């Protein structure tokens, strides 16, 4: 493989964005869940809800901080590595990105301060309101990013004017049907990420025999939520597949591993696609199912990759396998959530150690599903940066040298690896310590602009304690 | 509408330079301070606000991307390596705030990251400004130079100059925020840094004359430009007076004025060019539909809210930082 500036820029973008997405996908769900917890605490007055809230708020702080730090680079590398892309699509994508920055700043930064330091200074209803506003802010961030990416998948509402994409209809761009399928898909993915992380933490404490009351809340709330949301997520996943089928047939064919037109089409469950011979090796397939999935029909003709000119085809192996890994993770999560919920309703969940172990070990599943889902979407969009309009090869900075691109990839790799290692270490420390027996108030000098400052003091040494249920 | 976004961009950029300028400057001074107690106080004087300060860099960046995509694409791609180094420096110094306190043996690493990252960010920002003043080769809406075209005596000079300027801003911030030891030390470096900054300005001016940089003709065409250096000079005199009389709050305000005057000088010298003598504001602006869409939401509502929020968080953090309480 030739390490051109183009390939290195793609690797750099894939690396930095994959690193980044891990944190927001977790914090978006966590913010919403914190809102629910705070509402439950207000409604029931149970101190355990508040303990769980305070505990996860600290983890939210670290994850949020890492998401912000890793996100700054994203905003600049559109210009550094993809100058043609940013010159042409800036009037649409730059504008959407600026909305993301502005709304996120307005909602997250200001209300997050209240969350961390205002517990004793504001009325309980206002505290709940602030939590909800932080959740709304993270949701808005996700929304603008999904509008942005959906425009790259299915560009609408623009004309080409003086070599740039000039917006003609913002309503079509923002209310594109593709947005309203993919945004819920991403949002649900974030909720499920949070649900499984919380349930896994609860299972871990139960296995250790610690924090029984809090662990039960975490385990049950996480699993019950997942039991409801995984089926909904699978439905939205299906709708996402529908848009790919309708708007990006080459990507759909690559995901399906379908090389030639078929009528009715079979569904390849597993295989090793071979681009050299344009066929699938060791294929396990089900007749007619392909037409059913693609068009809800028993007789439809489904298009194969060979029907597209070679220069318009995406790579096959990556979308084919990442899609199957994503679906596999989804099904595993469904099984865990349903079995766990069933046993939970029967009151046998907490004593079932093998299942607790499985739930504990399941926390990577949603992250893997999100990353592989994005690989499917982004690699499947190739060879286009803006689908059907701007090729990735034409989007890259034309004069970028291999040396410069290799330098930046190395530097970002080193820095991200470094801070990721430390960030994960601190989150792990917090999780291992568990919800403290008392409530932790922030140190006096900590301030809202620094989310991570709330966990500066190692527990229990430096923090000021307030008895639970004060 | 174009003018509106020029103003927003100018305000965001100036705010960034002033706000992050002082905390980068404190980082630079941190590197030449050995005493642990002093170091803690210095970090404490910027720890609560550096994050909010840096937000303005992101704001300026996305406004440039959305409202002036042509300039964004040319500058980012032309200044590939300096942008990389600047972001690397900013990340390293940013995480140092958090990780220094949690680390044991690794503390020197985070200290070096904080001071080195601050200096790196200041240097690269100055280099980028210098490269722009000297003129970047642009042809047909794209950068037309090599990967190291930004590197030269003049940009490097500007990099050093901005670092000295930031250090001066940082020293005045410490004078304003600290007491005792740290304040006295800061008072001692202010005259030296001021002298260094003046020397730098003289050298830059001589260099610009000698090289006959295109910007010089602007000064002959537009004599009213001299207002800005006059303001700057007056501010320097007031700075010297306030240092002699130990008026803690005044030096910072005066250096802010110097920076604002320098910013104004640059902006008016190059007007209406955004990339000097290559791309004008009108050429760079996104289509009206883009600017209008940004205006009705973020321009009209969110931006004023952000200014307010910045003012409030600086207000909350008024007064002196005490020396003995650890800053976390």
State ipTM: 0.88
Q: For residue A384, give the 3-state DSSP assignment.
A: strand
Find the residue in A nearest to B48 (Cα).
A447
Contacts of B67 in chain A (CB under 8 A): 94-95, 98
Nearest CB to B142; choose among A170, A398, A447: A398
pLDDT reported for residue A437: 52
Domain count, chain B: 1
**A410 and chain B in contact, CB less than 8 A:** no
pTM to 2 decimals? 0.88
pLDDT reported for residue B322: 64
**A126 and chain B in contact, CB less than 8 A:** no
Distance between B315 CA and the closest CA of chain A, angstroms:
12
Give the dihedral of Cα atoms A115, A119, A121, A124; nearest 10 deg. 100
Confidence band for A13, pLDDT divided at 50, 70 and 90: very high
Cβ contact A65–B49 (<8 Å):
no
- Segment A404-408 shows an average pLDDT of 92
Find the residue in A nearest to B89 (Cα).
A415
pLDDT above 90 coverage of chain A, percent:
51
CB B133 within 8 A of CB B276: yes
Find the residue in B nearest to A85 (Cα).
B73
Measured distance CA(A367)–CA(A209) in Å, rounded? 27
Find the residue in A nearest to B305 (Cα).
A106
Strands A164-167 and A158-161, sheet pairing: antiparallel
Reported as a single tens digit per residue, the pLDDT across A92-144 is 999 999 999 888 877 776 787 778 767 777 888 888 998 998 899 889 999 99
Nearest CB to B66; choose among A98, A415, A419: A98
Measured distance CA(B142)–CA(B139) in Å, rounded? 5
Confidence band for A3, pLDDT divided at 50, 70 and 90: confident
**A86 and chain B in contact, CB less than 8 A:** yes
Confidence band for A1, pLDDT divided at 50, 70 and 90: low
Q: The CATH number of the domain where B91 resides is what?
A: 1.20.1630
Find the residue in B nearest to A83 (Cα).
B73
- pLDDT for residue A252 is more than 50: yes
- pLDDT for residue A467 is more than 90: no
Confidence band for A440, pLDDT divided at 50, 70 and 90: very low
Cβ contact A446–B328 (<8 Å):
yes
- Count chain A–chain B contacts defined by CB atoms under 8 A: 213
Confidence band for A448, pLDDT divided at 50, 70 and 90: very low
Cβ contact A75–B62 (<8 Å):
yes
Residue B324 lies in a domain: no
Give A302's DSSP letter.
Answer: B
Find the residue in A nearest to B141 (Cα).
A87
B290-300 in b/e form (b: 16+ CB < 10 A) is: bbebbbeebbe
Contacts of B87 in chain A (CB under 8 A): 72-73, 76
Cβ contact A166–B72 (<8 Å):
no
E strand segments, chain B: 138-139, 142-143, 273-275, 279-280
Under-50 pLDDT residues of chain B:
324-328
Reported as a single tens digit per residue, the pLDDT across A161-171 is 888 999 999 99
- pLDDT for residue A319 is more than 90: yes
Distance between A271 CA and the closest CA of chain B, angstroms:
42
Measured distance CA(A79)–CA(B69) in Å, rounded? 9
- pLDDT for residue A447 is more than 80: no
Cβ contact B298–A99 (<8 Å):
yes
Task: State the best of B19, B76, B284 to mutate against chain A, taking most chain A CBs within 10 Å.
Answer: B76
Q: For residue A165, give the 3-state DSSP assignment.
A: strand
- Segment A289-306 shows an average pLDDT of 85
Contacts of A403 in chain B (CB under 8 A): 147
Q: Which of residues 252-281 of A touch B (CB under 8 A)?
A: none
For chain A, the structural domain boundaries read 1-176+401-470
Reported as a single tens digit per residue, the pLDDT across A187-203 is 999 999 999 999 999 99
Contacts of B308 in chain A (CB under 8 A): none
- pLDDT for residue A453 is more than 70: no
Q: Residue A318 burial (CB < 10 Å; 0-12/13-18/19+)?
A: middle
pLDDT reported for residue A461: 34
- Segment A379-404 shows an average pLDDT of 92
CA distances from B173 to A229, B191, B252, B255, B326 (A): 52, 14, 6, 10, 19
Cβ contact A106–B305 (<8 Å):
yes
* Average pLDDT of every residue of chain A: 86
Contacts of A76 in chain B (CB under 8 A): 61, 76, 83, 87
Nearest CB to B73; choose among A86, A106, A450: A86
- Segment A461-465 shows an average pLDDT of 35
pLDDT reported for residue B308: 85
- Segment A245-272 shows an average pLDDT of 89
Domain that includes residue B218, residue range:
2-316
Q: Which of residues 46-85 of A touch B (CB under 8 A)?
A: 65, 69, 72-73, 75-76, 78-81, 83-84
Position with higher pLDDT, A408 vs A66: A408
Find the residue in A nearest to B87 (Cα).
A73
pLDDT reported for residue A455: 47
């Amino acid at each position: 493989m030739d390490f051109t500036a183009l390939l290195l820029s793609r690797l750099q973008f894939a690396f930095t964005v994959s690193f980044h997405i891990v944190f927001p996908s977790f914090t978006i769900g966590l913010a919403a869940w914190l809102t629910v917890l705070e509402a439950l605490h207000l409604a029931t007055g149970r101190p355990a809800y508040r303990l769980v809230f305070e505990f996860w708020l600290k983890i939210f702080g670290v994850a949020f901080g890492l998401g912000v730090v890793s996100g700054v680079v994203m905003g600049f590398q559109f210009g550094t590595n993809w100058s043609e892309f940013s010159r042409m699509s800036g009037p649409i994508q730059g504008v959407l990105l600026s909305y993301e920055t502005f709304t996120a700043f307005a909602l997250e930064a200001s209300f997050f301060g209240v969350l961390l330091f205002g517990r004793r200074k504001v009325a309980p209803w206002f505290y709940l309101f602030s939590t909800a506003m932080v959740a709304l802010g993270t949701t808005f961030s996700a929304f603008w990013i999904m509008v942005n990416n959906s425009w790259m998948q299915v560009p609408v509402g623009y004309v080409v004017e003086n070599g740039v994409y000039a917006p003609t209809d913002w309503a079509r761009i923002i209310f594109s049907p593709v947005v309203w399928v993919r945004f819920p898909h991403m949002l649900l993915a974030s909720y499920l990420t949070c649900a499984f992380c919380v349930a896994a933490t609860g299972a871990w404490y139960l296995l250790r025999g610690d924090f029984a009351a809090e662990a039960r809340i975490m385990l049950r709330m996480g699993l019950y939520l997942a039991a409801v949301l995984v089926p909904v997520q699978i439905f939205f996943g299906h709708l996402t597949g529908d848009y790919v089928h309708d708007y990006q047939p080459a990507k759909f064919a690559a995901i399906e591993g379908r090389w030639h037109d078929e009528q009715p089409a079979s569904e390849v469950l597993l295989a090793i696609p071979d681009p050299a011979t344009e066929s699938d090796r060791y294929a396990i397939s089900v007749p007619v199912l392909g037409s059913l999935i693609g068009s809800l029909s028993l007789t439809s003709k489904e298009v194969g990759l060979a029907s597209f000119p070679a220069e318009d085809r995406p790579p096959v192996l990556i979308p084919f396998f990442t899609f199957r890994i994503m679906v596999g993770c989804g099904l595993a999560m469904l099984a865990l959530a349903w079995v766990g919920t069933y046993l939970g309703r029967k009151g046998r969940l907490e004593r079932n150690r093998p299942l607790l172990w499985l739930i504990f070990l399941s926390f990577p599943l949603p992250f893997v599903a999100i990353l592989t889902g994005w690989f499917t979407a982004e690699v499947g969009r190739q060879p286009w940066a803006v689908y059907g309009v701007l090729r990735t090869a034409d989007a890259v900075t034309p004069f970028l040298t291999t040396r410069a691109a290799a330098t930046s990839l190395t530097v970002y790799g080193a820095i991200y690896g470094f801070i990721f290692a430390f960030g994960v270490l601190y989150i792990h420390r917090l999780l291992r310590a568990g919800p403290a027996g008392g409530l932790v108030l922030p140190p006096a000098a900590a301030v809202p602009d620094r989310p991570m400052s709330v966990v500066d003091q190692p527990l229990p040494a430096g923090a000021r304690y307030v008895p639970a249920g004060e | 509408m174009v003018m509106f976004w020029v103003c927003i961009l100018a305000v965001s950029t100036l705010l960034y330079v002033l706000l992050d300028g002082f905390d980068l400057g404190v980082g630079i001074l941190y590197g030449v301070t050995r005493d642990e107690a002093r170091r803690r106080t210095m970090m404490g004087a910027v720890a609560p606000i550096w994050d909010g300060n840096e937000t303005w860099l992101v704001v300026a960046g996305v406004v440039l991307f959305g409202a002036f995509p042509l300039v964004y694409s040319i500058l980012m791609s032309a200044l590939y390596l300096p942008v990389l180094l600047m972001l690397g420096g900013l990340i390293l110094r940013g995480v140092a705030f958090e990780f220094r306190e949690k680390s044991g043996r690794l503390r020197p690493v985070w200290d070096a990251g904080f001071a080195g990252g601050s200096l790196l960010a200041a240097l690269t920002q100055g280099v980028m400004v210098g490269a722009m003043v000297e003129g970047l080769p642009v042809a047909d809406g794209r950068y037309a130079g090599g990967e190291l075209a930004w590197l030269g005596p003049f940009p490097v000079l500007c990099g050093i100059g901005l670092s000295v300027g930031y250090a001066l801003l940082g020293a005045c911030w410490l004078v304003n925020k600290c007491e005792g030891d740290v304040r006295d030390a800061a008072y001692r470096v202010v005259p030296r840094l001021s002298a260094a900054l003046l020397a730098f300005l003289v050298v830059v001016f001589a260099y610009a004359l000698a090289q006959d940089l295109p910007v010089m003709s602007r000064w002959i065409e537009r004599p009213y430009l001299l207002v800005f250096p006059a303001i700057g000079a007056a501010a320097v005199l007031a700075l010297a007076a306030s240092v002699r009389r130990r008026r803690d709050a005044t030096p910072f305000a005066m250096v802010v004025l110097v920076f604002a005057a320098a910013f104004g000088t640059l902006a008016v010298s190059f007007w209406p060019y955004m990339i000097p003598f290559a791309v004008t504001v009108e050429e760079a602006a996104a289509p009206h539909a883009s600017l209008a869409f940004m205006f009705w939401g973020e321009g009209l509502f969110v931006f004023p809210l952000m200014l307010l929020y910045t003012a409030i968080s600086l207000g909350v953090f008024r007064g002196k930082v005490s020396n003995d309480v650890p800053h976390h």
